[in-house]
Each structure stands twice: as structure tokens, then as C-alpha cells.
Amino acid sequence: MSEITLKEAQDFYENSFSDWIKELDITLTSISKGNATLRIPATSRINRLGGMICGQAIMALADTAMVFAVAANAGSFVSMTSVNMQTTFLRPAEGTEMLAEARVIKSGKRLVYGEVNLHMGDASKPVAHVTTSVMLL
């Protein structure tokens, strides 16, 4: 099984994701077997009243991060779909950028279970925790 490079992942992102996801200005910062880290800047387009990143953007980032963790686990960009996503918001998402650290916890033939921890910049306290199931098609 081959490993996906950061360049391959970035190319896949640029060529395969919808425009509204790309408008989040996601940057892939790392990818390795079963893991991926992505970041987005906090901008007026995704901030809600009070300067916090809105929940919809947080969930979109988490779902996107899981795509890359699952692909890295499989060794290639396979066809997949999200089955379940449970998001727990832990504190306000205030700051200049958000990081999503996704990892595969268990991978079966068709179903992959994972988690995404989201935090602001270098802060150690998470702003959200997501558990998710992805079906390989």
C-alpha cells in the first residue's frame, strides 16, 4: 500500500472538492497513515456574531479532514461517503485559525470509524470533538 503525499492530497483537494468547501481556504498541513491535519483561517465569511467560527464551518472542516485521514489509511483516494457525524462543541471557536486533527480509529472492509479534534491555533484546549463513520463505496 502506498502513502499519499501532501502534494497529492492538495491536488486532490483542488480538483475534487466543491467550490463552497474550497472557499473555506483549507490548507492541508500533514498527512500520514490514518491521520490528517488541516487548517482554516478565521475570516468574516465564516465567523458569526461575536467573532466565533460558526458551527457549519467547523463541521465542514471536520468532515473534510476525515476524508483525508480515511484516504491516507487506505493508501489512495477511494470513493466514500459520511454515514454519521457526532459533533460536540466544547468552547467558543475564537482566534485567527482553526486546526482539525483527524485520525482513523478502526477500519473495516466497508466502514471506517474516526475522530477529529479541533482547536484554535496553538491552543491546547479543543473547541470541538467529532466522531464519525465513513462508508467505503
Mean pLDDT of the chain: 95
Provide the residue ranges of all domains of the chain, joining segments of one domain with +. 6-136
Question: Percentage helix, strand, coil, to 5, in the chain?
Answer: 25, 40, 35
pLDDT top residue among 124 and 109:
109
User: Residues 47-69: pLDDT tens digits?
Assistant: 988 889 999 999 999 999 999 99
Mean pLDDT value across residues 80-94:
96
Cross-sheet strand order for the sheet of 126-136 = 27-32, 35-41, 97-107, 111-120, 126-136, 80-89
Question: Do 98 and 61 contact (CB within 8 A), yes or no?
Answer: yes
Measured CA to CA in angstroms, residue 17 lies from 42, 61, 92, 108 at distances of 20, 12, 27, 25
Which CATH fold would you assign to the domain 6-136? Answer: Thiol Ester Dehydrase; Chain A (3.10.129)
* Cα–Cα distance measured from residue 15 to residue 46, given in angstroms and rounded to the nearest whole number: 22
User: Residues 4-56: pLDDT tens digits?
Assistant: 999 999 999 999 999 999 999 999 999 999 999 999 999 999 998 888 999 99
